[in-house]
Structure 1
Amino acid sequence: MDYVSRVPAPPLDRFIDDIYCLTGVPGRRLMNVPPMPSAHLYLNLGGPARLWDSDPSVPPVELADGWFMGVWTRRFLFEYPERVHLAGVHFKPWGISPFADLPATELRDRWVPVDAVWKRSADRIRNRIGDTASAAETLRVVEEELRSRLAPSRGLDLVRHTGGQLATSHGTVPVGALSAVAGVSGNHLAAQFKAHVGVTPKRMARIYRFSRAILSVDARRPVDWSALAHTMGYFDLAHFSREFKDFTGHTPTAYLALRRRFPAEREFPPDHGPMPAE
């Protein structure tokens, strides 16, 4: 598939990693997506996609127009249509907050239709893009929409600053140190993270640490899992293996075997978190 993206101009880049356009025929349609340090907006310009929560009590959904997704703390399954045409936004974990007038906890571990967040907007945005728009034009329309939606959000500067420290340290900086340096109590910082990210700083640190671990795995080479667990700050290999299985549904060795059977497309996806579902 073709993935065309760009980082938006300031001030959007404080909240967004990239805006992208994805087109083509997927090599594997059903993907297993572990928790990653990001939130998302998808604008579907093609056939409907299907999603399944790893929590069996949550019914699957089919989404044709567009949807928001907050930070996920567990894995989910995503099925591409036979031919993909979508525009998307990779938000930083706190990035949806100034664009959506609702608590981030309402987007955590959920997919919510665009029209439920931006009232009656999905068709208007899709019509502006049109069926034949170039990737560059698609990105321009999405960026304009985001810029028009940007609004101040109280407490977000604190979360953005401390969240940036979690990102830079890959989740290894102690959460107590974050609140101490920021000059606020741990309870206040946790409350602000829940409001703007949907999860506590401790949970966000776990996701950052796991994402660094999974993205550092090179399936073409042998992996010393004990050394990797130590480097990433896990207590021991057993701790790392439990978290790995919880987040991916696979043991580390089973994950490595899966990656070797189904190598990621060259230069796609932009991260190697999503994996083929068997």
Structure 2
Amino acid sequence: MEYVVRVPAPPLDRFIDDIYCLSGVPRHRRMNVPPMPSAHLFVNLGGPVRLWDSDPSVPPAVLTDGWFMGVWTRRFLFEYPTPVRLVGVHFKPWGISPFADMPATELRNRWVPVDAVWQRSLERIRDQVGDTASAGETLRVLEAELRSRLAEAPWRGLDLVRHVGGRLETSHGAVPIGALTDAAGVSGNHLAAQFKSHVGVTPKRVARIYRFARLIVSVDALRPVDWARLAQTAGYFDQAHFSREFKQFTGHTPTDYLALRRRFPAERGFPPDSGPMPAE
């Protein structure tokens, strides 16, 4: 598949890590996605996409247009159509807040149709992109839509969340939450309330996800992996806790995860072998 990605210009880069266009025929259609420190927007310009929550009580979905997803605290699965034509946005954990007029808790562990958040925007995007636009032009259209949607009014508490979230991002979740509240001059309850409002989860949960992300991007499936060393570097000082969280987040033990990575190596030119993985 072709994967074209770029970081948007300011001020969007305060809220968005990157926007990307994915097209072509996937080597692996069904992917298992662990919790990662981001929220998402997908605009589907191809065939239907199928989604499964790892919580078996949640019914699966078939989505044909576009959808928002907030921060996920558990894994989910999706199945690409053939061929793929998809445009996506990786928001920072707090990044959806100024674009969506709804509490972030309503997007946590959920997929919500784009038109339920941005009325009639998909029709406008589709009209501008058409069937033949290049990846670069498609990204330009989506970036312009995001820029037009960026709220101009001040967002109560968002600056605090951005500041603390930035510390969690740069430290990979290693800074104690108590130290962050002290540095910000706020109570733990106030900080947690603001994170729930703008992220959908507490800062402690965000720290856990950043810590796991640091570990998973450190795995080089082509070489022997010292799990104990990687876990300690990422901030896991209890091996049993690391093993439980790894199984919870990926659905695999570390050994089985590594075997799966080796059976299905990353596709050349595709995103790094660090997030979604083939689902058996």
TM bucket normalised to smaller:
over 0.9
**Cα distance in 2, alignment partners of residues 122 and 189 from structure 1:** 35
Does the alignment pair 1:58 with 2:49?
A: no
**Cα distance in 2, alignment partners of residues 143 and 234 from structure 1:** 38
CA gap 1:271/1:39 in 2 versus in 1, 3 angstroms: farther
| Number of residues of Structure 1 aligned to a counterpart in Structure 2 | 278
2:220 equivalent in structure 1: 218
| Aligned partner letter, 2:55 | D
1:127 equivalent in structure 2: 127
Is the Cα contact below 8 Å between 1:24 and 1:85 reproduced in 2?
A: yes
RMSD (Å) for aligned C-alpha atoms: 0.9
2:232 equivalent in structure 1: 230
Match of 1:154 among 153, 156, 160: 156
Is the Cα contact below 8 Å between 1:225 and 1:237 reproduced in 2?
A: no
1:54-93 matches, cutoff 5 A? 54-93=54-93
1:21 equivalent in structure 2: 21
**Structure 1 portions without partners, runs of 5+:** none
Is the Cα contact below 8 Å between 1:37 and 1:204 reproduced in 2?
A: yes
Q: Report deviation, 1:177.
A: 0.7
**Cα distance in 2, alignment partners of residues 28 and 273 from structure 1:** 14
Q: Report deviation, 1:181.
A: 0.5
Is the Cα contact below 8 Å between 1:175 and 1:201 reproduced in 2?
A: yes
2:168 equivalent in structure 1: 166
Match of 1:242 among 237, 241, 244: 244
TM-score, reference length from structure 2: 0.98
Q: Report deviation, 1:271.
A: 5.6
| Aligned partner letter, 2:118 | W
Counterpart secondary structure, 1:245 = helix
Is the Cα contact below 8 Å between 1:226 and 1:236 reproduced in 2?
A: no
Is the Cα contact below 8 Å between 1:37 and 1:208 reproduced in 2?
A: yes
2:34 equivalent in structure 1: 34
Is the Cα contact below 8 Å between 2:66 and 2:122 reproduced in 1?
A: yes
Q: Report deviation, 1:205.
A: 0.3
**Structure 2 portions without partners, runs of 5+:** none
Match of 1:189 among 188, 191, 196: 191
**Cα distance in 2, alignment partners of residues 273 and 85 from structure 1:** 20
TM-score, reference length from structure 1: 0.98
Does the alignment pair 1:49 with 2:52?
A: no
| Aligned partner letter, 2:215 | A
| Aligned partner letter, 1:216 | S
Q: Deviations over 1:213-260 (max 9, x none)?
A: 011000011111111111111122211111000000000000000000
1:198 equivalent in structure 2: 200
